[in-house]
Amino acid sequence: MGLCQNLFANIPEHLDHELTSKLLRDRSVRIERIVSRGQASPPDYWYDQAEHEWVVVLTGKATIKIEGQPEMMLGPGDTLDLPAHTRHRVEWTDPQQNTIWLAVFWNEA
């Protein structure tokens, strides 16, 4: 039997830290809901993941920086494909509203 979830539900009124919820995980793939409200990567911190990541912004706005490229603003419906070891950081998320991300992580088979 499948589990019914709502990606816009169960979000606390106050978020001191980004909220990450694992929605699905198996040997090769992981799907997470990430909720940001004003959070960003720490200064001088770059994500450098061993797995690939594809992300879509469902609500809100964020600015992402990929090393060696200009910053990009993402909003509802925008997607980003980050191959493994693509150094990137979250520069800004809207502090006035939830930025809800759906992130899919996987490894090559």
**Average pLDDT along the chain:** 95
Identify the CATH homologous superfamily for domain 25-106. Answer: Jelly Rolls (2.60.120.10)
How many other C-beta atoms are found inside a 10 Å radius of the C-beta of residue 19? 17
Convert the pLDDT of each residue in 32-48 to its tens digit. Answer: 999 999 999 999 999 99
Burial group, residue 70, by CB count within 10 angstroms (0-12, 13-18, 19+): exposed
Dihedral, CA atoms, 43, 72, 48, 7, nearest 10 degrees? 100
Structural domain spans, the chain: 25-106
Q: Is the pTM of this model over 0.85?
A: yes
